[in-house]
Amino acid sequence: MIVIIGSGIIGLFIANELLEIGKKVTILELKKRKASATSASVGMLAPLIESKPYEQELFELMIDSKALWDKKKNDQKQSKVIGLKNNSSILVAQNFDDFEEIQFKKKFIDNLGFETKLLDKSETLKIEPNLNSNIEGSLFCKNNNQVEPSLLESFIRKNILKNGGEIKTVESFEKFNFKKNKLVFNEYQIKAEKIVICCGAWSNLLLKKSMNISFEIRPLKGVSMIFQTNTKMFENNLWFKKIYIAPRQNNQIAVGATEDEKGFEEDVTLDEMLYLSKYLWESFPEIEKFKFKKISAGLRSAVVDGNPIIGNLDINKDVICAFGHYRHGILLAPITASIVKDYVLEKKIPNKYCFFSPKRFNL
């Protein structure tokens, strides 16, 4: 039995993968779920857009995970159920400065060995006629697509239950003891060969209280909105300087995202609504076309070096960490699950991915 703590996208993907290799799996989640990052996520699968200088290892991890997402597209029926699209991403330049910036971005991505296409204003508007006509141009990143996190979550949950996994909710889970294959918390005792900590931004709180271990992680709050439009307005994912927009099924669009240091605050506040609405209005003046559906807040877990923490702890090799995925957890869920599966099977983290292990913090 492997116990997974936390049922965000990372916990769900890991559970699914372990069930596929015949492991028994129980996921533990809080009865009153936290403002999970997954529930607010926009679901972009866009490693080229997200690539940054000095993040070579993270970029390679994103590319490897994207390849696993691309494989999923072969199953068209499943792709439809989870809202996995065939579209691309367009980085829009709204003024001359932005246009200069995207030319640098193109050079940077080209040097990484990937192709992008610089489009002028009319080429961009041909692809996305509903864009504001005051743009300068754009950078087209083919196949940097998107999945719908809520559809994805409910699909994997069903799959886990169908394959014999258990998702157990508990009133509270603040502290555990895990020794000699016995997980003890509150009034529970569970026999388990390994436990996996997948509590996103809350992982550190649990590890600190239970094992006196602390990583340099902080919560970064993010808010996204969903709107309904009468007709399909965009084909691709649109990235602006301050916001990004993803077309969803049934003429809905997702708009993300704020990023604020607000500790563990979970409620949506007016400044966040204003931020998203203001920049949406600057990109699409006809905001009366957007009917408001939903707003969600989620806490991303951001590690000090920007990389996720995936791998076993040194002081107890049966405690596996899988958190700190910051802005990229949906994109990185398949590769994270694959690394954890390899560790369970081979008792070691594949060499290529050792960089992400807790060892880099001497833990």
Ligand X SMILES: Cc1cc2nc3c(=O)[nH]c(=O)nc-3n(C[C@H](O)[C@H](O)[C@H](O)COP(=O)(O)OP(=O)(O)OC[C@H]3O[C@@H](n4cnc5c(N)ncnc54)[C@H](O)[C@@H]3O)c2cc1C
Cβ 28 to ligand X, closest distance in Å?
Answer: 5
CB of 314 to ligand X, least distance (A): 22
Q: CB of residue 120 vs ligand X: minimum separation in angstroms?
A: 27
- Rounded CA separation 334/321 (Å): 15
Name the 3-class secondary structure at 363.
coil
Query: CB under 8 Å to 235, separation ≥6 — which residues?
Result: 87, 127, 128, 247
83 vs 256 by CB, closer to ligand X:
256
User: Between 33 and 278, whose beta carbon lies closer to ligand X?
Assistant: 33
Closer residue to ligand X in complex, CB, 103/155 = 155
Complex with ligand X: residue 105 or 327, whichever CB lies closer: 327
* E-assigned strand segments in the chain: 2-5, 25-30, 44-45, 89-93, 117-120, 137-141, 145-146, 166-170, 177-179, 182-185, 188-191, 194-197, 217-228, 237-239, 244-248, 252-256, 291-303, 309-312, 319-323
CB of 160 to ligand X, least distance (A): 14
CB of 201 to ligand X, least distance (A): 6
What phi-psi label fits residue 186: left (phi over 0), alpha (psi between -120 and 50 degrees) or beta? left
Binding site for ligand X (CB under 6 A): 5-11, 28-30, 33-34, 36-38, 40-44, 173, 198-202, 206, 222-224, 256-257, 298, 300, 323, 325-331
Q: Which is nearer to ligand X, 34 or 137 (CB)?
A: 34
Cα–Cα distance measured from residue 145 to residue 355, given in angstroms and rounded to the nearest whole number:
27
